[in-house]
């Protein structure tokens, strides 16, 4: 099974990386689950410029925001 670690990132310290890291380890060790961690995916997939700006694009440039989300999802699937 693969778990998606959803939760607010925008206002969380370090985008909520700390709790996601701890919970990822627990899920792997206790339940043998794989994890989709959006914090890690964005670090692996997006440029620093995209990471810094894509949340603002949700209102300023929804088309650009959608492209960034698709980029992350594509990286997960392929």
pLDDT at 29: 96
Residue pair 37/20 in contact (Cβ under 8 Å)? The answer is yes
Q: pLDDT tens digits for 22-63?
A: 889 999 999 999 888 888 888 889 999 998 898 899 999 999
Number of domains in the chain: 1
The gap from C-alpha 23 to its chain's centroid, in whole angstroms, comes to 14
Range of the domain at 67: 2-77
Angle at which helix 38-45 crosses helix 17-31, to 10 degrees, equals 110
What pLDDT sits at residue 18?
79
Q: Is the pTM of this model over 0.85?
A: no
3-class SS at 66?
helix
Contact 38, 54 (CB under 8 A): no
């Amino acid at each position: 099974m693969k778990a998606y670690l959803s939760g607010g990132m925008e206002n969380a310290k370090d985008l909520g990386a700390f709790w996601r890291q701890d919970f990822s380890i627990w899920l792997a060790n206790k339940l043998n689950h794989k994890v989709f961690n959006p914090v890690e995916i964005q670090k692996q997939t997006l440029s620093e410029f995209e990471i810094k700006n894509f949340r603002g694009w949700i209102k300023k440039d929804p088309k650009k925001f959608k492209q960034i989300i698709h980029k992350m999802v594509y990286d997960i699937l392929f």
